[in-house]
Amino acid sequence: MGEKSTGIAAAEVGGRVLAGALGWVLVLLGTLGAAATLLRLAGTTAPTNYTGSAVAFGVCVLVVAVGLYGNPSIRERLRSAIR
């Protein structure tokens, strides 16, 4: 029972690759959202709602954090640094 079959190993590698890709997509989307929120606040053409902008920026930061933690390689580095 010590050896894994090739199907299980391939599924684990595929899962890690997909989780990493999804993590980086979340980081990209969160960064773009945060940049758009800050640019909207800096611009004078759109009406500004500071509460809505703060909530949007907070959600974007949360999406970036989830994306970073969702990436398996970064998560393993964080866990090894904490121990």
pLDDT at position 2, please?
66
> Per-domain residue ranges for the chain?
20-82
Could you tell me if 48 and 41 are in contact, meaning their C-beta atoms sit under 8 angstroms apart? yes
| Residue located via tokens 């970064």 | 74
Intra-chain end-to-end CA distance of the chain, in Å: 29
pLDDT at position 26, please?
95
Best CA proximity match to 32, nearest among 60, 65, 71, 66: 60
Give dist(CA 77, CA 23) in Å, integer.
15
pLDDT in tens, 62-79: 999 999 988 988 888 888
Could you tell me if 24 and 66 are in contact, meaning their C-beta atoms sit under 8 angstroms apart? no
